[in-house]
């Protein structure tokens, strides 16, 4: 299974990832995106990672 991680120093909390896939990403009260699940059956996480404007999401 892919390991999804977010670089806190890059994330701006824009919410794009969480609106693309709320099952995996959530923007917390700290204004940063967090991974709340390692997988989603209906989303392509790599594609969502590529859409992050600051490239904060890595899927490895």
Interface with ligand SF4 (CB under 6 A) = 6, 11-17, 25, 27, 33, 52-54, 56-57
The least CB distance from residue 16 to ligand SF4, in Å, is: 4
Please tell me whether residue 13 adopts helix, strand or coil conformation.
Answer: coil
Question: CA 49, 54, 57, 60: dihedral to nearest 10 degrees?
Answer: 80
The least CB distance from residue 33 to ligand SF4, in Å, is: 4
Which of residues 6 and 45 has its CB atom nearest to ligand SF4 in the complex? 6
Cα angle value 23/25/26 (rounded, 5°): 105
Token readout for 29 is 């009260």
The least CB distance from residue 45 to ligand SF4, in Å, is: 12
């Amino acid at each position: 299974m892919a390991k999804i991680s977010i670089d806190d120093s890059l994330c701006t909390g824009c919410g794009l990832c969480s609106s693309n896939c709320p099952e995996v990403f959530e923007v917390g009260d700290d204004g940063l995106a967090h991974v709340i699940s390692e997988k989603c059956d209906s989303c392509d996480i790599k594609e969502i990672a590529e859409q992050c404007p600051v490239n904060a999401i890595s899927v490895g």
